[in-house]
Amino acid sequence: MSTVAITAADINSLRQATGAGMMDCRKALTESNGDFEAAIDWLRKQGQKIAAKRSDREAKEGVIIAQTTADNKTGMAICISCETDFVSKNADFVAFVQTIADAAIASNVHSAEELAEAEANGTKVAELINDKVAAMGEKIGISKFQRIDADYVASYIHGAYRMGVLVGLSATAAEAGKDLAMQIAAMNPVAIDPASVPADAVERERSIVTEQIKLDPKMAGKPDEMIAKIAEGKLNAFFKENTLLAQPFVKDSSKTVGDHLKSVSADLKVTQFVRVALG
């Protein structure tokens, strides 16, 4: 079989098309005997191998996009992770993640698995990610995916794409939705209200505060009933600090988030929220 001469122009064309390094492009064209499409396939296969080799590497950096559909009925928060902040702060990588987020909205996906199969610019997201792995030489993937459906969903991106928040409301309230999303980003509540805190989380916290009380020398010999009553008081303090509606409102600490919602509309409710952060 004759060998096709690989020119610098060929290598540059493949590099421009794929973003892969010059040496990788030269080898791809050599291995595919100059066939451009076959060389692209070869690079994608190499990208998959790179991803496999790096499967034990930690991808603690990344870009998070939180956005909604045009009618604000659905919101999605997506984290595409990478290994270094050099990549995550790259404008091209941020644009790449935005393309994936746009594909998620356009395809109305419900999971990370569906997102991987969705198409962006005629190519599956999973293939785009493999191409980016080959080009950047880092472990890159869909590490987090959250979706909310509600009568109105507000979105917020905090800290140079390092955190995304979605808030579902019972009615349209754009300004209130933005305020709530910023509240959640800053205060990281565990639930909307005490009733929505998972039972296992409540019991875990109760166990912790009860043990703290028992270890206090001042409580030595005190009856269990007294210890339990003090524990409930500490548990209520935990709820006040860590549930959204009971927290002091960040824009006006003289009132709670719940009070602020009532001032916007007596019937306005938070139905759900998610907070997606790196790490």
Supply 101's token pair: 């987020």
What is the spatial distance between Cα 23 and Cα 8, in angstroms, rounded to a whole number?
11
Look up the CATH number of the domain holding residue 21: 1.10.8.10
For 218-277, write each residue's pLDDT tens digit: 888 889 899 999 988 988 888 888 999 999 999 999 999 999 999 999 999 999 999 999
Of the two residues 2 and 217, the one the predictor is more confident about is: 217
**Mean pLDDT of the region 198-218:** 86
Kind and range of the H or E element at 274? strand 270-277
Let me know if residue 82 belongs to a domain. Answer: yes
Let me know if residue 118 belongs to a domain. Answer: yes
pLDDT of residue 1: 47
Let me know if residue 215 belongs to a domain. Answer: yes
Co-location of 75 and 153 in the same domain: yes
Q: Between the CA of residue 98 and those of 91, 161, 169, 219, what are the distances in Å?
A: 11, 11, 25, 56
Instruction: Provide the domain count of the chain.
Output: 3
For 39-72, write each residue's pLDDT tens digit: 888 887 776 565 555 555 555 899 999 999 999 9
Helix, strand, or coil here: 158?
A: strand
pLDDT of residue 13: 84
For the chain, the 3-state helix, strand and coil shares in percent, each to the nearest 5, are 50, 20, 25
Co-location of 76 and 139 in the same domain: yes
Of 108, 140, 171, the last residue of a domain is 171
What is the spatial distance between Cα 165 and Cα 202, in angstroms, rounded to a whole number?
24
pLDDT-based confidence at 20, cuts 50/70/90?
A: confident
Co-location of 43 and 143 in the same domain: no
Let me know if residue 127 belongs to a domain. Answer: yes
Co-location of 95 and 114 in the same domain: yes
- Name the residue range of residue 15's domain: 8-53
Co-location of 117 and 16 in the same domain: no
pLDDT of residue 51: 59
Co-location of 43 and 128 in the same domain: no
Co-location of 81 and 128 in the same domain: yes
pLDDT of residue 173: 96
The residue with tokens 């030489």 is: 137
Let me know if residue 107 belongs to a domain. Answer: yes
Let me know if residue 112 belongs to a domain. Answer: yes
For 72-128, write each residue's pLDDT tens digit: 999 999 999 999 999 999 999 999 999 999 999 999 999 999 999 999 989 999 999
Residue 33 has pLDDT above 50, yes or no: yes
Look up the CATH number of the domain holding residue 125: 3.30.479.20
Let me know if residue 248 belongs to a domain. Answer: yes
Of 156, 171, 186, the last residue of a domain is 171
pLDDT of residue 240: 87
Let me know if residue 185 belongs to a domain. Answer: no
Co-location of 93 and 20 in the same domain: no
Co-location of 135 and 94 in the same domain: yes
Co-location of 99 and 201 in the same domain: no
Co-location of 120 and 72 in the same domain: yes
Which range is least confidently modeled, 61-65, 135-139, 156-160? Answer: 135-139
pLDDT of residue 2: 57
Co-location of 45 and 125 in the same domain: no
